[in-house]
Chain A
Amino acid sequence: MSKKKTRIKLELKRRDFLAVGGVAAGSVVAAQLLTTGPLSPFASFKQEQVEGIEEVAPRHTGHHWGMVINLNKCIGCEYCTRACSATNDVWVGLPDEDQALGKERLNKPWNIVVEEKTSTGTPFYFSRPCLHCGDAPCVEVCPVQATYHRDDGLVVMNYDKCIGCRYCQIACPYDARKFNWQERTDENPYIPTWGIAEVPRRPRGVVEKCTFCIHRIDAGLQAGLMPGEDPEASPACVNICPVGARIFGDLNDPESKISRTIAVEATMRLRDELGTETSVYYVIPKEGL
């Protein structure tokens, strides 16, 4: 045993030193090849990630859809909630049934409107769709890539991939996601008064979310319309608003109405300290928050 030990000691001087040096140099090369080089199994993912980061910065190629919600104008009529629930056939829920099961706010819609107060006590109305984060926690945590970023800045879902683990609900900083706890057999009370269903109902057991009405955006662009300017290509909540509190459009186009509004009004983004880079901006109440 002792003989062996001394031999190791002697050899450490030259041969092992060379071997260790060679292994170290080799692993540096291998690490390069495997992480950023051509052998990397993550090369494709990295590319997506890089594109995702670029998404955050204003790009001058392509669109980046965003929304401005003017808290000065909103009167709390909840028309946006109703039009959204009709157009996207969102379940608006039965409070009595929820209470019987001992649950809270089980079937909240995609779009919510609540009354709030500024620090000086002035009431204002606050509404919230999905904020379509540039760096979205829900996209990161999804184990099956059911939620993903589109090139135009929207965060959307593939309902055929979702396994219903609800991790995105846990991770969303804005409480913007909704789970389908049961099979839909209800009659939507907002159809046809507030609109007709333009997308199919989502199945039981998947999470769903606001899409900024992508079906209208995509079809509108194909028909040569401009989302944010032509109502046929704009989200239902924007069209229905009786006071024009919601502005929709291309954040990448400096001449769009939304970009000009952001340039002149005092705006804020929700929980900006988390680095989520939301695509929704709020015009804050005149007397401050």
Chain B
Amino acid sequence: MARTPSSRRRRPVKLYAGLGIVGFFALIALVGPVLVSGAGRISADSMARPSGSHLLGTTDIGQDTFKELIVGTRAELEICLTAGLLAMSLALLIGVTGGYLGGKADQVLTAVANVFLVLPTLPLIFLVADLVHPKNPFVIALIIGTTSWAASARVLRGQTLSLTRREYIDAARVGGESHRRILVCEIMPNLLPVIAAQLVFAFIGALLTHAGVAYLGLDNSSNVNWGTMLYFANNALALQRGAWWWFVPPGLCIALVGAGLSLINLGIDELVNPRLRVPRARAVRRRMESVATAAEVDEKVTA
């Protein structure tokens, strides 16, 4: 694309801000549990206000809220990562295969994805989580991951379909390249921005879903993470008893990580789709080249 003065490369502020926030929490998840000792230790100091000895106060049984929060960060992000990656792998497998193969295989895979798309996942997760009663935190991640891949699969399918129809793929095929090589070397690189955006969506979805599931008490109560913290805080009527330091921080952390991930997504969107950027001079609006953007092509294919 010819570079007009207005689309001169600008620093992707949103992307950096988002990466900063998520990176900060990732760092805590990595080193936090090593630095903090004695999380979960019960003491007589019940429902204490934040102070020097307890940075974020204590719970009803005298556990240090700040330490719980730090230790919970790793557990929460692990669940988020596992569920997100699993959902993404399933979406890639089903979406890209369908879009690339086309025909009957595509129809079957699309139908499966559509069914999963319209089924309300949260009640389904409740049902499964309650039946399984997972002790291992990864079981929850597994359940979330296997029920939340369908929307991404649909987007990836549309994108793959439009890429598969382009001439350079025909050229590769005529040149005798194998299916695997075409998929990995020709299609995948062009899918990367979409995959990145969908992966971030999957992380946000997993984070919020797990928070909800754990809040209702469906995560095993011996696991310490932000979701179970909210569950215990709510069960102990923390807010009603004025113990905001117990209830607010875990939710705020979830919201911050979620916001950081959304910022990353907005940033990716603007990098990939220059039209969404705010042009310097508004007069440029109509004169921008009509590059067939990913969104449009996707629309035309699925329409």
Asked if A and B bind, the verdict is no
Chain A residues within CB distance 8 Å of chain B:
none
Q: Which residues of B contact A (CB under 8 A)?
A: none
